[in-house]
Amino acid sequence: MVQRFLQVMFSLFSTYNLELTAAAVYVKVLPFLTMEEGHYSLPEATLFLGFDCSTQSLKASVLDANLVIVATEFVRFDIDLPHYKTEGGVYRDPLINGRIVSPPLMWVEALDVMLERLSKRLNLAKIVSISGSAQQHGSVYWKNGSFRILSSLNPDMRLVDQLGEAFSLNESPIWMDSSTTEQCRKIEEAVGGALELHCLTGSRAHERYVGPQVRKIYEKHREIYHNTERISLVSSFMGSLLIGAYACIDETDGAGMNLMDIKKRKWSNVALEATAPYLEQKLGKLAPAYAVSGYIAPYFANRFHFNKNCLIIQWSGDNPNSLAGLTLETGDLSISLGTSDTVFGITDEPQPCLESHVFPNPVDTKGFMVMLVYKNGSLTREDVRNRYADGSWEIFNKHLRQTPPLNDGKLGFYYKEHEILPPLPVGFHRYILKNFTGHSLDGVIEQEVDEFDAPSEVRALIEGQLLSMRAHVERLGMLLPPKRLVVTGGASSNECILAAVASIFGCDVHTVPRPDSAPLGAALRAAHGWMCYEKGSFVPLGMLYDGKLEKTSLCSKLSVNAGDPILAAKYALVMRKRIEIEDRLVRELGRL
């Protein structure tokens, strides 16, 4: 009875945009926390589930009460759901330059498949809380009247068979999209310029951000805009499915929209007005990442035997969740090598810099997460591997081993996709630095060439990606070398790439036991949200693992020792030259 009352309360809060935080509805219905030697112990026999709805797959990690991974699972969109005919989880529009979308119904069906698989492996009733990560910036458009469908799901049917008519837009713009340059410029102009928008919302206008995407829909497809009752991020969309109601947008992921006042953690009227009318009511409320979105919907309790008290904690972006899963502290830096490459850290005072993305700290009530994002990550590494290493990682690594550091002055810029940082169009650019001795840039000139030998192409790609990261981190004023550098993402299992990171950054390189830190971070945040709920207020995340980190699946290890400092100094010179060339390319070809 109490339970049903709370479920209805959660739905009402969510539907009518009332503020809901972990502390707002506080009733102890779950096992108790115990305090031991400065940390909280989670109750024995409880499980915490974290998802990651990324570009190419839906992943899951399950943590036990000791924060040890007990199960992982994944659903690959292209392979497990081939009827959507996506490539790498996306559709590239051949007619509209830069338009890249994914079908939201595919994410719904991926959840069906994932839960069918997990229910065969685990007793889902032991899961006390669930959270998730999702690709940042993707947006989902719920058609007028869809709340009714979402809140009355029939447990005898799959989700995909019930939500087919729920969307006003059947193709969601995703983070890879770059079709809104015009809208970005108009929004920046309306708020007083790129820097003004950056200071207000944490980022200048970016094509993939939700604000410019919404403005485009409003300008070009007004009927769709008016037929939309709720706009979710991919993160809050997946959370909505699990609570059977519209989940709030998390403040950290919400900062990736060009719509939120980064300091107040509230929608900014100025930014909303620069985007589209009546937008605030379509967005609903923001909530902190540790808040409870609601209890799991009866649909999942009935169909998959989840405990009806299972809490859904706010979902957030994949990068913020990785930051949580890597247990980053101020002064640490992480490089995530995935579909996108990202570099991020935590700071109290972010410097205004147009290249960076600033979000509220996803694991604290104060401070900021600062991030750089590259669109040409693993897909570009695979492309270069296919062109110059016969499609084999072994040959790719052999090329890296047989070429000297600094690549005899060969520098490459490889953009298979329109790049975010720097904002350059598709294209490969190669240069050889003449007269480079490694001691100064005096007399060094760059000569543009068409192609290198195959091994040098591979080294130019990897060195180029890492030099760009080092240069832009330096521009951001972040601590270099960092206190701890943690490399994560698929390519972090490649030792040759890790060795290049150590040489170029000139510091030790750490890795974590599993490269997919986003679902792990989500599972950790599920436990954190549950703990805050139990305590009735925010509790520092570290209270979950302080003093026992090495016994958990969160512990990082030293993988490669710092490279030679003389070599790192030579890389610093090449980096300066590279950034000079990059700035020139942006002036000549850039989208800005």
Give the footprint of ligand XUL on this chain (CB under 6 A): 54-55, 135-137, 175, 208, 256, 317-319, 340, 342, 357, 373
Query: Which residue number has the CB closest to ligand XUL?
Result: 135
| CB 156, min distance to ligand XUL, A | 34
Question: Which residues neighbour 222 within 8 Å (Cβ) at sequence distance 6 or greater?
Answer: none
DSSP 425: -
From residue 442, alpha-carbon distances to 68, 166, 574 in Å are 54, 63, 12
Alpha helices in 28-81, H assignment, sequence order: 77-80
Alpha-carbon torsion, ordered 569, 570, 574, 580, to 10 deg: 40
Neighbour count for residue 496 (Cβ, 10 Å)? 17
588's tokens:
């000549």
Instruction: Name the residue among 532, 131, 536, 540 with its Cα closest to residue 321.
Output: 131
**Distance between start and end Cα atoms, the chain:** 58
CA angle 459, 460, 462 (to 5 degrees): 65
Closer CB to ligand XUL, residue 135 or residue 275? Answer: 135
| Complex with ligand XUL: residue 89 or 244, whichever CB lies closer | 89
Q: At closest approach, how far in Å is the CB of 175 from ligand XUL?
A: 4
Entry field: residues in the chain:
592
The span from the CA of 340 to the CA of 177, in Å, is 13
Query: Cβ of residue 92: shortest distance to ligand XUL, in angstroms?
Result: 16
C-alpha torsion sign, points 223, 224, 227, 232: negative
Contact in structure between 361 and 202 (CB atoms under 8 Å): no
Phi, psi of 194 (to 5 degrees): -65, -45
CB of 101 to ligand XUL, least distance (A): 14
Smallest distance, Å, CB 339 to ligand XUL? Answer: 6
CB of 324 to ligand XUL, least distance (A): 14
Query: Taking the CB of residue 523, how many other CB atoms lie within 10 A of it?
Result: 36
Closest CB to ligand XUL among 420 and 532? 420
Q: Which amino acid is at 527?
A: A
Nearer to ligand XUL, 88 or 244 (CB): 88
SS3 category, 453: coil
Count CB atoms within 10 A of the CB of residue 180.
26
For residues 174 and 541, which CB has a smaller minimum distance to ligand XUL in the complex?
A: 174
- The distance of closest approach from Cβ of residue 218 to ligand XUL in the complex, given in angstroms and rounded to an integer, is 22
| For ligand XUL, the closer CB: 352 or 391 | 352
Distance in Å, CB of 482 to ligand XUL, minimum? 19
Shortest approach of ligand XUL to residue 563 CB, angstroms? 27
Residue closer to ligand XUL by CB (options 11, 61) is: 61
Q: What stretches of 403-453 show up as alpha helix (H) in DSSP?
A: none
H or E element, residue 58:
strand 57-64
**Beta carbons of 523 and 72 less than 8 angstroms apart:** no
Please report, for residues 164, 200, 236, 332, 359, the alpha-carbon distance to residue 366 in angstroms, rounded to integers and kept in the order given. 40, 17, 22, 17, 11
User: Could you tell me the two tokens for 99?
Assistant: 């338009």
Question: Please, what is the minimum distance in Å from the beta carbon of residue 75 to ligand XUL?
Answer: 16
Min. distance of Cβ 152 from ligand XUL in angstroms? 31
Place of tokens 């910036």: 137
Nearest residue (CB) to ligand XUL, 126 versus 357: 357
